[in-house]
Amino acid sequence: MKQFLIILACCLSAKAQFFTNTSPTVWVGNLTNLVFTNAGGNVWTNVNPSSGPPTYTLQDNYNLSFGGDGTMNYGQYYGSSDKWLASGKFTASSSYTVTKVDVNLNKTGTPTFNVRVHIYTVSGGVPNTDISTPSAWVSANQTWITSFTGISASLTSGQTYCIVLESDVVHGDGSNYGLWRYTFDGGNGTWYQSSSGSGWSNQSGNTRGEFAVYSSP
C-alpha cells in the first residue's frame, strides 16, 4: 500500500496520465490537457479529456477505399521533378472549410522523407492557386489510407479543386519513394508533377488519385 501511494503521488505531481485502448489511438497528456495521436500520424493537442479526438464530416471523396488500379510516384526522381504531385480533382458539393484530407498512399522501399497536403484551385484542368494552409507533415512511409490534419481551405460550392501532395525530399531515390493509389476515371482524371508547386507537367489523362476531404462539424 505504501508503494502504491508513493507511485500515485509521483504521477499526480507530474500531472501525467497515459491511456491506451484497443484501437490504434493512444492518449497521452496531463490532468487538464490531452494530446491525441494515432498510427496514421494525426496529432491533436489541448483536447478536452471528456470529448475524445475531434470528429469530422465527410464532404467530397473519390474511391478512397477502392484499393487502386495502380499508383503514381512522388519523391522518386533525383532532380526532384516529382517533389510535388497533384491529382484528386473534384467539384465542391457545398461551401465548407476543409480541416482533414485522407489520401490512399503506398510506397516503394522505405522512404525517409515527409509529405503534406495542399488544396489548389484548378484552371483549364491544371492546378492553379494554392488556397490552403497546408497540413502537418506525415512520413511518406505509408501503405494505406493516410490522414492529414492541420489543413485549412475554404471551398465554394460548384468550384473545382484538386489535392496536391508536397514532399520535403531533397533528391529523389529510385529505390525508396512514395506512391499515391489511383483509379481509372476516363478523361476526368489527370496527374501533374512539379519540382516547386508550379510549372506543372501533365503525366496522365485517365486516372485520378483516391482521396476524401472533411470539414469539422
More reliable by pLDDT, 77 or 138: 138
Question: How far is the C-alpha of 17 from the C-alpha of 49, rounded, in Å?
Answer: 11
Residues 6+ apart with CB under 8 A from 39: 24
CATH of domain 57-215: 2.60.120
- Statement: residue 65 has pLDDT above 90: no
Residues 6+ apart with CB under 8 A from 113: 75, 140, 167, 168, 169, 170, 178
Residue-level pLDDT at 116: 98
Residue-level pLDDT at 51: 60
Picking from 105, 111, 155, the residue whose alpha carbon sits closest to that of residue 129 is 155
Domain boundaries, the chain: 2-47, 57-215
Distances (CA, A) of 100 to 103, 128, 151: 10, 21, 6
Residue-level pLDDT at 13: 42
Residue-level pLDDT at 152: 98
Q: Torsion angle of alpha carbons 147, 153, 155, 159, nearest 10°?
A: -80
- Statement: residue 185 has pLDDT above 90: no
Q: Best-predicted range by mean pLDDT among 147-156, 179-188, 191-200?
A: 147-156
Residue-level pLDDT at 118: 98
Of 24-33, 92-101, 144-153, minimum mean pLDDT range: 24-33
Q: How confident is the model at residue 188 (pLDDT cuts 50, 70, 90)?
A: low
Residues 6+ apart with CB under 8 A from 200: 86, 126, 127, 192, 193, 194
pLDDT tens-digit series, residues 48-64: 455 677 899 999 999 99
Cross-strand pairs, 37: 26, 43
Cell 480533382 sits on residue: 89
First to last CA, the chain: 46
Residue-level pLDDT at 203: 82
Q: For residues 111-137, give the mean pLDDT.
A: 96
Of 79-83, 109-113, 188-192, minimum mean pLDDT range: 188-192
Q: For residues 204-213, give the mean pLDDT.
A: 88
Computed on alpha carbons and rounded to an integer, the radius of gyration of the chain in Å comes to 20
Q: For residues 115-120, give the mean pLDDT.
A: 98
Q: Could you tell me the pTM of the whole model?
A: 0.76
